[in-house]
Amino acid sequence: MAEKIQKLMNDNPVARWTVLVLVALMMFFAYMFVDVMSPLKSLVETNLGWSSGVFGKYAASEYILNVCGFLILAGIILDKLGVRFSGILSAGLMVLGAGIKFIGVSDWFQTTAMAQWLGSWWVEMPASAKMASLGFMIFGCGCEMEGTNVSKILAKWFKGKEMALAMGLEMAIARLGVFAVMWISPLISAKFGGSIVAPMGFCGALLCIGLLNFVIFAFMDSKFDRQLVAAGLATDEKSPEDEFHVSDLGAIFKSKMFWIVALLCVLYYSAIFPFQRYAPNFLEETLQIDAATASRLFSVFPILAMVLTPALGIFLDHKGKGATMLMAGSVIMIVCHLCFAFLLPVAPYKWLAVLLIVVLGVSFSLVPAALWPSVPKIIDEKILGSAYCLIFWVQNIGLCLVPMLIGSLRGSTGGYFVPMLVFSSFGVLAFIFSLLLKKEDKQKGYGLELPNIRK
């Protein structure tokens, strides 16, 4: 018995890092599929007859079901049935959604009776776009559910160990998927004569590999749970996470720390992801450069965040200071957006733009590296999955609404000055919530400023 207590699977570095690779690769493949059509926008509009408005509706469809409540259900499933069932389910939803989307953009589908029926109503939205959007909705459910599931998996397998580093590496690998597909998708399309389905089929096949990864993980996690039972760390053959009850959701909604973290999250990410959509055009207009050059200038943003996040995770694991990192990241974001609003228009230099983008990338490394490993410290393990899902749900609401707000302000003011001030205001509010978080941590002793690795 003593030997079993000392030799749990997650005590073996090879086992726990293998788990990280298995689940992180799935998110890498998922992020590739999310943006597989982004580099092909012009081709999609030409071949499928989509307008820019239709393309925008298709892009927004990823979040619709999540905002309508699926993420709440996903959290219940995750905490009720565990990470193994949820992982395979969410991976399966991604594969299913990818398959429907693949069918929607394929040439043969356009001549089917289904396509004719879909095209007979809401005619400004082509049948191919409706089918692709349906698939993207289903895929989006699986993708967001898997994102929360992966966070809980890493919290479980790296508890008391290199949790922040593991989560940082997972985020870095996922972001690498975005970078990769921006290069791979056009290359595959060109190789197959301007095909849309070829790159989508390639990324869909990768999702199938990711599903297989979760099947392998399920066997490993099942053995790990049996070890927990044998070691007396669980009371039966089920993981402690399976003791969740739906009524426990009330504990999340009543948690002051949950709302502080959730609002901090939505405010911060609402000033990052929507900004990414407008940043190339902002640089194009402000610096008076072509679109391709503007995109290349902004490309340093996710790359730097990808490199720095694991390094900051190591610091967080060994030194702590999570709440302080959240404050610092918010301040950096405020400064950068204010400089975009006031400084860059009067000093439109490429080197200054790159400098600001690089510094903003530091902020994008600080906050996620500190935010996600902090959640297990403030939320009970048996409702952790629901907490992550509810945080993602609040975040998705912001990610749906803020782009529309920015687009409206952009249209009514004819420039980016007011939108940048709005992004800055989100940063100010995020900083206020980071102060509240640090205050609560100091009073209640959640350990947000303490290292993750226990000595």
Q: Is the pLDDT of residue 288 over 80?
A: yes
Whole-number mean pLDDT of the chain?
82
204 and 312 inside one domain: no
Asked whether residue 172 is assigned to any structural domain, the reply reads yes
Q: Is 288 left (phi over 0), alpha (psi -120 to 50) or beta?
A: left
Mean pLDDT, residues 227-235: 70
Please say which residue of 196, 231, 266 terminates a domain: 231
> Do residues 87 and 123 both lie within one domain?
yes
More confident residue, 389 or 82: 82
∠435-372-60 over CA atoms, to 5°? 100
Is pLDDT above 80 for 244?
Answer: no
Q: What pLDDT is attached to residue 410?
A: 76
How many Cα neighbours within 13 Å face the side chain of 407? 10
d(CA 198, CA 296) in angstroms, rounded, equals 25
Task: Give the integer Cα–Cα distance in Å for 378 and 447.
Answer: 9
Q: Tell me the average pLDDT across 399-420.
A: 80
Residue 155 falls within a domain, yes or no? yes
Instruction: Kindly state whether residue 393 falls inside one of the protein's structural domains.
Output: yes
- For residues 455 and 161, what is the distance between their CA atoms, to the nearest angstrom? 9
Domain extent, residue 278, equals 247-455
23 in any annotated domain: yes
**396 occurs within a structural domain:** yes
Q: How far is CA 197 from CA 188, 207, 254, in A?
A: 10, 15, 47
Phi first, then psi: what are they for 222, rounded to 5°? -65, -45
pLDDT value, residue 291: 57
Segment 153-203, tens digit of pLDDT: 888 888 878 777 888 788 888 878 877 877 788 888 888 888 888 999 999
Nearest-angstrom CA–CA distance, 268 and 398: 10
Q: Which of 22-26, 154-158, 337-341 has the lowest mean pLDDT?
A: 154-158
Q: What is the CATH number of the domain that holds 133?
A: 1.20.1250.20
Domain's final residue, options 231, 266, 298? 231
Same domain, 85 and 142: yes
Question: For the chain, how many structural domains are there in total?
Answer: 2
* Distance (Å, whole) CA 149 – CA 395: 16
User: Same structural domain for residues 288 and 401?
Assistant: yes
CA 290, distance to chain mean position in Å, is: 29
pTM metric for this prediction: 0.74
CB neighbours of residue 45 within 10 Å: 14
**Co-location of 32 and 180 in the same domain:** yes
- Please give the angle made by the CA atoms of 98, 101 and 105, to the nearest 5 degrees: 140
pLDDT score recorded for residue 240: 47
Q: What does R_g of the chain's alpha carbons equal in angstroms?
A: 22
Residues 272 and 358 in one domain: yes
What pLDDT was estimated at residue 239?
47
Is there a single domain that holds both residue 183 and residue 302?
Answer: no
Longest dimension (CA), the chain: 70
Mean pLDDT (whole number) for 69-96: 86
Same domain membership, residue 251 and residue 162: no
Among candidate residues 442, 452, 387, the one with its CA nearest the CA of residue 148: 387
The two three-digit tokens of residue 231, written as one number: 């070691």
13 burial (CB, 10 Å; 0-12 / 13-18 / 19+) is exposed
| Residue 239, domain member (yes or no) | no
Structural domain includes residue 238: no
Co-location of 274 and 196 in the same domain: no
Same domain, 219 and 287: no
Q: Is the residue at 182 inside a domain?
A: yes
Which of 12-26, 38-52, 157-171, 425-439 shows the lowest per-residue confidence on average (mean pLDDT)? 38-52
Chosen domain end from 197, 231, 265? 231
Highest mean pLDDT among 21-30, 47-56, 142-151, 441-450: 21-30
Q: Which among 41-50, 228-237, 322-331, 344-353 has the top mean pLDDT?
A: 344-353
Residues 27 and 108 in one domain: yes
The pLDDT assigned to 245 comes to 59
Percent of the chain with pLDDT over 70: 91
Selection from 8, 19, 160, 10 nearest residue 84 by Cα: 19
Q: Does residue 340 share a domain with residue 256?
A: yes
More confident call, 235 vs 286: 286
Per-residue tokens: 18: 């293998």
